[in-house]
Amino acid sequence: MKTNIYVIYGGKSVEHDVSLQSAFSIINSLDKAKYNVYPVYITREGVWCSTKIVKETITELKELKHCNFNSISGSLGDFLSKHFKKGEKSIAFPALHGSNGEDGTIQGLFEMLNLPYVGNEVLSSAVGIDKVMMKDLLSLGNIPQAKYTSLLLHQWQENEEKALEEIENIIGYPSFVKPARLGSSVGINRCKNRNELISAIKEAFLYDHKLIIEKEIIGREMQIAVIGNNCPKASVVGEYIQERKFMDYNAKYVDGRLVPVIPAPLSDNISEAMRQTAIKAFKLLNCKGLVRVDYFVTAQDAYYINEVNTMPGFTKYSMFPALWEKTDGTSYSELIQILIGLGFARHEQKNSILHMRWEA
């Protein structure tokens, strides 16, 4: 009997469109002779739209956006009632980025359904998407990172002048203002003075009520892909050659001008140190399945973790699959199968835990 794979994508997130691109590649890469592939589209309003089994190659993104429901609860109820039948082997593949998908919420639903799923669990997903919490935990492991501070919306509304003075005293300029719980470089701005800082804060608060403000580090932006459960492995280091000050949304997903360099030109000692640090971060955040660790590397070969991404993109521009292909020859399709296997293995291990008091 074939394994059912539910590729879940879209969602109530500013990264909705990026998710569609990831799902497009994942669905087309899955072996239809081995798997029953079910696309599950979540609209921007949160409505679940389950379509029929995909047996052929999808040629256009619009094929992934069919929906016949208006109600969130009704659509979710219909999806659950039609699938996950007894005796069938099933797994969810959340190709969701950002809010309501990469933040532990949908992972909590899978846990309640006792459904195997690809990627990180509730805790690591929630911590990984919150850049402030993530950096607080990484600091406990003495992992190098940029100086940072945070700002909550109510603090800004109560006293803008005080908030600005604290940021300027702690971080200074140039600085970067980011929504704390978003990815794909949405809502991020570089600030050289107070006027730019005010404007950046106001824009970032459109996307989140919690911000992180970081001191600028001048360096190359590099990435490492980590896969595994109990014994994670790190890829070689890769970097993008870019024209802009930082990789914003358009640079990543629209312009297509980023040129990947894999492996990145680094000394063996620095490369290995970064790989070991990536694994250390993976373990500190209790990650499972996969993580992409993003770095800054200065001209003096000092390296700093910028952030971790617990569900990195799988678009045609994505670094994660390219890193593994250059590391050990793992193809895109093989990588997907490895991640599916890791999801099943974690599920089996978790199901070995007792949920009632043991008596001799």
CA–CA gap between residue 79 and residue 72 (Å, rounded): 11
Of 15, 102, 121, 239, which residue is the catalytic one?
15
Q: Identity (one letter) of the amino acid at 256? A: G
Active site residue 160: no
Is there a binding annotation on residue 192?
no
Is there a binding annotation on residue 177?
yes
Is there a binding annotation on residue 212?
no
Is there a binding annotation on residue 307?
yes
Q: Which of 268, 251, 269 is closest to 315 using CA atoms?
A: 251
Is there a binding annotation on residue 184?
yes
Is there a binding annotation on residue 65?
no
Q: Which of 268, 292, 267 is closest to 281 using CA atoms?
A: 292
Q: Could you give the residue ranges of the DSSP H alpha helices within the chain?
A: 16-29, 72-82, 105-113, 122-129, 131-140, 153-158, 160-170, 194-204, 249-253, 268-284, 319-328, 332-350
Q: How far is CA 250 from the centre of its chain?
A: 18
Of 22, 184, 235, 271, which residue is the catalytic one?
184
Structure tokens at 269: 């000692």
Of 75, 124, 271, 318, which residue is the catalytic one?
318
Active site residue 90: no
- 10 Å Cβ neighbour count for 145? 19
Active site residue 318: yes
CA–CA gap between residue 133 and residue 153 (Å, rounded): 17
Is there a binding annotation on residue 218?
yes
Is there a binding annotation on residue 214?
yes
Is there a binding annotation on residue 25?
no
Is there a binding annotation on residue 334?
no
Is there a binding annotation on residue 176?
yes
Q: List residues forming the annotated binding site for ATP.
A: 131, 176-178, 184-185, 214-221, 306-307
Q: List residues forming the annotated binding site.
A: 131, 176-178, 184-185, 214-221, 294, 306-307, 309
Just list the catalytic residues: 15, 184, 318
Q: List residues forming the annotated binding site for Mg(2+).
A: 294, 307, 309
